[in-house]
Amino acid sequence: MERPPSDVDAVRRGRPREGRPVHVRIPDDDIEIIDRLAEHDSVTRAHVIRRLIAEGLASERPLS
């Protein structure tokens, strides 16, 4: 017999999924800069990386 849904079933923990994970290698010097930005803005490293990517993609400068 199936149990009835509860409020606990509706609660999702953690960050909502946004896209899929992508694994890249980033030089240590760049990681240090990213970590300083994250600390300054009180956000996570991942948030800074996503923000930098979004800003780069929105840039009007052509990719070369």
Q: Model confidence over 4-42: pLDDT tens digits?
A: 666 655 667 776 777 888 999 999 999 999 999 999 999
Q: How far apart are the first and last CA of the chain?
A: 60
State the Cα–Cα distance between residues 3 and 7, nearest whole angstrom: 13
pTM above 0.85, yes or no: no
State the Cα–Cα distance between residues 9 and 7, nearest whole angstrom: 5
Angle at 17 between CA 13 and CA 10, to 5 degrees: 40
Whether residue 38 contacts residue 44, with contact meaning beta carbons closer than 8 Å, is answered with yes
Note the pLDDT tens digit of each residue in 8-18. Answer: 556 677 767 77
Q: Which of 61, 31, 62, 64 is nearest to 49 (CA)?
A: 31
